[in-house]
């Protein structure tokens, strides 16, 4: 078991890397307006460390012959500056992990990991193409902000997520379901709706999983191919969706990333 | 589509979400006993839609029409066959 606590510096690092400066991660009043008792940590921030620990554990267990697949569910946001416990265990032949608060038994993040080769999506199209200079610059930025994380795949996963955040995909999904209201783009939609990341799944192929940032890996191109998003109108004010990206590094299918989102229209 | 195949799919989906042993999930296991929370239902809904192209809306559970894993599997089998028939009709027209 490991004990983690995420503070202002961690939050600032993730905000700088991802571009997510939502005030609920910085300002208690704004966090309260969104229904939280405390300033909350970005969902992806603890997952950086989860992926590092699960990757180490999987390698220790000899799970390096096939793709490593992690599926993380974000049950509740982690409050800033609060102690949390991370644990990994095995049940029913599955590797499981969780983050719990040390002051409350509530499970905040839970997930599973396994060896599973994903199938590339049919009809996936290039959504973002990151050429060498930009990729190298972004990876260097990641390394400077998170020096404790050396795994290339975790940095690329973070990079893909940040590109996803800056895209209009959530808005397009809301619009297609008739739930965009008067919003004309993603930024105006975010003022009318609360967007919650509910899950994050990542699969990484064996050759890519072992590459380290400190080894200065050669990155010529990162091609992020997006499939058709899946959207379900759960109620008149709630939309759930799932977006999957196949990631080709230097032309080779190296990762598959799936982001689960819930959009709640504010009254 | 075999009900047993869909049941195994649902069983695996629940095992991903809860700390329970595989033998604790049977056809007549109630959804209430599995203590799925709202985000668990979201997860299951998305997986069903992705795999079987079937939408399972919350009112099916809140109305009491579906209360067990077996009933949910039967519902998916029934709805998936309609989706398949509609796709075949669209392809033929």
Q: What is the pLDDT of residues A38-72, one digit of tens each?
A: 999 999 999 999 999 999 999 988 877 899 999 99
Residue B57's pLDDT band, with cuts at 50, 70 and 90, is confident
State how far residue A75 is from chain B, nearest Cα, in angstroms.
7
Q: What is the pLDDT of residue A9?
A: 97
Q: What is the pLDDT of residue B90?
A: 66
Q: Which residue from A251, A263, A207, A199 is spatially nearest to A225, judged by alpha carbons?
A: A251
A·B CB contacts under 8 A: 43
Tokens of A153: 């795949």
Q: Which helix (H) or strand (E) holds A92?
A: none
Beta bridge partners of A97: A88, A111
Interatomic CA distance for residues A227 and A122, integer angstroms:
7
% of chain A with per-residue pLDDT over 90? 66
Tokens of A197: 């990341």
- Using CB atoms, pick whichever of B15, B16, B58 lies closest to residue A234: B58
Chain B nearest-CA residue for A239 = B42
Over chain A, what is the mean pLDDT? 92
Whether B58 has a pLDDT exceeding 80, the answer reads: yes
Chain B nearest-CA residue for A92 = B21
DSSP assignment letter at A102: S
Which chain B residues have a beta carbon less than 8 Å from that of A240? 42, 45-46
Whether A237 has a pLDDT exceeding 90, the answer reads: no
Q: Which residues contact A12 (CB under 8 A, 6 or more apart)?
A: none
The answer to whether the Cβ–Cβ distance between B43 and A94 falls below 8 Å is no
- Using CB atoms, pick whichever of A91, A92, A230 lies closest to residue B50: A230
Residue B91's pLDDT band, with cuts at 50, 70 and 90, is low
Q: Which residue from A219, A227, A262 is spatially nearest to A243, judged by alpha carbons?
A: A227
Interatomic CA distance for residues A36 and A194, integer angstroms:
12
What pLDDT, in 10s, does the model give residues A97-139? 999 999 888 899 999 999 999 999 998 999 899 999 999 999 9
Interatomic CA distance for residues A85 and B78, integer angstroms:
43
What pLDDT, in 10s, does the model give residues A157-195? 999 999 988 888 778 878 887 888 788 888 788 777 888
- Using CB atoms, pick whichever of A73, A92, A96 lies closest to residue B43: A73
Which chain A residues have a beta carbon less than 8 Å from that of B21? 91-92
Q: Which of B17, B46, B53 to mutate to test the interface with A (most CBs of A within 10 A)?
A: B46
The answer to whether the Cβ–Cβ distance between A242 and B46 falls below 8 Å is yes
Rg (CA), chain A: 18
Q: What is the pLDDT of residue A236?
A: 82
**C-alpha distance across the termini of chain B, in Å:** 24
Q: What is the pLDDT of residue B93?
A: 63
Mean pLDDT of A23-51: 93
Which chain B residues have a beta carbon less than 8 Å from that of A262? 42
| Cα torsion B62, B65, B69, B75: sign | negative
Q: What is the pLDDT of residue A13?
A: 98
Coil, strand or helix at A153: helix
What pLDDT, in 10s, does the model give residues A69-93? 999 999 999 999 999 999 999 887 7
With an 8 Å Cβ cutoff, is B33 touching chain A? no
Least confident of A1-5, A190-194, A223-227: A190-194
Which chain A residues have a beta carbon less than 8 Å from that of B55? 232
B84 vs A160, residue with greater confidence: A160
Tokens of A16: 């700088």
Tokens of A222: 């990162």
Interatomic CA distance for residues A94 and B11, integer angstroms:
13
State how far residue A142 is from chain B, nearest Cα, in angstroms.
30
Q: What is the pTM of this model?
A: 0.90
Which chain A residues have a beta carbon less than 8 Å from that of B25? none
How far is C-alpha A19 from the geometric centre of its chain's CA atoms? 13
A62 vs A141, residue with greater confidence: A141
With an 8 Å Cβ cutoff, is B50 touching chain A? yes
Chain B nearest-CA residue for A97 = B19
With an 8 Å Cβ cutoff, is B17 touching chain A? yes
DSSP string computed for A217-249: ----EEEEEE---EEEEEETTEEEEEEEEEEEE
Mean pLDDT of A237-264: 93
Whether B16 has a pLDDT exceeding 80, the answer reads: yes
Whether B88 has a pLDDT exceeding 80, the answer reads: no
With an 8 Å Cβ cutoff, is B49 touching chain A? yes
Over chain B, what is the mean pLDDT? 88
Interatomic CA distance for residues A257 and A158, integer angstroms:
10
% of chain B with per-residue pLDDT over 90? 54
Q: What is the pLDDT of residue B48?
A: 94
């Amino acid at each position: 078991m490991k004990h983690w606590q995420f503070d202002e510096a961690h939050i600032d690092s993730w905000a700088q890397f991802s571009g997510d400066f939502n005030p609920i991660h910085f300002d208690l009043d704004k966090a309260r307006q969104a229904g939280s008792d405390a300033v909350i940590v970005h969902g992806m921030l603890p997952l950086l460390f989860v992926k590092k620990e699960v990757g180490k554990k999987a390698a220790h267990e000899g799970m390096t012959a096939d793709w490593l697949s992690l599926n993380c569910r974000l049950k509740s946001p982690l409050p800033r500056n609060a102690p949390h416990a991370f644990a990994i265990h095995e049940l029913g032949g599955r590797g499981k992990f969780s983050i719990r608060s040390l002051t409350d038994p509530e499970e905040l993040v839970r997930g599973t990991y396994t060896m599973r080769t994903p199938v590339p999506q049919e009809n996936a199209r290039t959504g973002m193409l990151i050429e060498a200079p930009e990729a190298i610059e972004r990876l260097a930025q990641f390394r400077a902000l998170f020096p404790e994380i050396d795994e290339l795949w975790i940095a690329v996963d973070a990079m893909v997520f940040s590109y996803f955040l800056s895209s209009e995909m959530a808005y397009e999904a809301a619009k297609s379901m008739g739930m965009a209201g008067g919003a004309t783009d993603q930024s105006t939609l975010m003022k009318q709706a609360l967007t919650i990341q509910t899950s994050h799944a990542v699969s990484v192929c064996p050759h890519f999983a072992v590459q380290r940032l400190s080894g200065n890996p050669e990155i010529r191109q990162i091609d992020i191919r997006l499939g058709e998003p899946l959207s379900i109108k759960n109620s008149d004010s709630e939309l759930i969706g799932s977006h999957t990206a196949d990631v080709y590094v230097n032309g080779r299918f190296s990762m598959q990333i799936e982001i689960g989102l819930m959009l709640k229209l504010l009254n | 589509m075999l009900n047993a195949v869909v049941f195994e799919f649902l069983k695996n989906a629940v095992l991903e979400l809860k700390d329970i042993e595989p033998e604790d999930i049977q056809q007549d296991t109630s959804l209430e006993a599995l203590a799925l929370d709202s985000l668990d239902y979201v997860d299951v809904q998305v997986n069903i839609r992705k795999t079987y192209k079937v939408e399972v809306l919350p009112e099916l559970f809140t109305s009491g029409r579906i209360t067990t894993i077996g009933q949910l599997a039967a519902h998916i089998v029934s709805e998936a066959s309609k989706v398949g028939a509609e796709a075949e009709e669209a392809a033929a027209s």
